[in-house]
Chain A
Amino acid sequence: SQQGEEDPQALSIQEGENATMNCSYKTSINNLQWYRQNSGRGLVHLILIRSNEREKHSGRLRVTLDTSKKSSSLLITASRAADTASYFCATDPTSGGSNYKLTFGKGTLLTVNP
């Protein structure tokens, strides 16, 4: 079953604009991650935010986490055509044990038009 639910399912913007994607989840987490997938290829890890963090930056990416609302957002600033891909949030419920199962959402398909 899916743990995270991304919103919107699809997003189309112009190059240079910002793109915001949201993720909601159901259970307690140790961390939340965002991955990117180009057209049916493998997923690539983008950024990880721990449950005790509220915001994290990496280059043009900004991730926020609100554990009280069980939600996260991914902001891509100054988007480029090369950012066109599907973006997935993944939750890690590990709390120090050996459970390393990441649970993925259904993804947001981002299209950046030149």
Chain B
Amino acid sequence: DAGVTQSPTHLIKTRGQQVTLRCSPKSGHDTVSWYQQALGQGPQFIFQYYEEEERQRGNFPDRFSGHQFPNYSSELNVNALLLGDSALYLCASRTRAGANVLTFGAGSRLTVL
């Protein structure tokens, strides 16, 4: 039973570029959340998707956008990259029913030069 898978694992971009990160949730999960984790910090909530709609959003600018597909997989897009966007981006999935426990992927490490 595959857990949460994320791609790519590492990527390097330059300021002003755009990036797309991808996530496939754990089998049976229908809700996907994205978190940004800067070095030495805890994960910061970006947004959550359920039924292909953004349901909740953290304190992130509109440069951060996302999408959820009918198969529950999700993408995170970041436009006009800044140096401060360098971080580990974590995707987490869960089911709407039951306890609110997240299953995380291994993350995508983004470096902006």
- Chain A residues proximal to chain B, CB less than 8 Å: 1-2, 4, 30-31, 33, 35, 40-45, 48, 88, 92, 94, 98-107
Contact = CB atoms under 8 A, between A and B. Distances in A.
Contacts of B35: 104
Contacts of A2: 42, 44
Interface string B71-113: 0000000000000000010101010100111111111010000
Contact of A42 (B4, B44, B101): B4
Nearest to A109: B40
A107 B101 CA distance: 18
B107 to A, nearest CB: 6
Given A40-B109, A41-B107, A102-B100, 6 more contacts: A42-B104, A44-B104, A92-B100, A100-B48, A101-B45, A106-B40
Nearest to A45: B101
Contacts of A43: 43, 90, 92, 102, 104
Interface of B: 4, 31, 33, 35, 40-45, 48, 55-56, 58-59, 88, 90, 92, 94, 96, 99-107, 109
Given A102-B45, A104-B43, A107-B42, A31 B106 contact: no
B42 A105 contact: yes
Contacts of A41: 106-107
Nearest to A6: B42
A4 B107 CA distance: 22
Contacts of B4: 42
A36 to B, nearest CB: 10
5 contacts: A42-B107, A43-B90, A45-B102, A101-B56, A101-B58
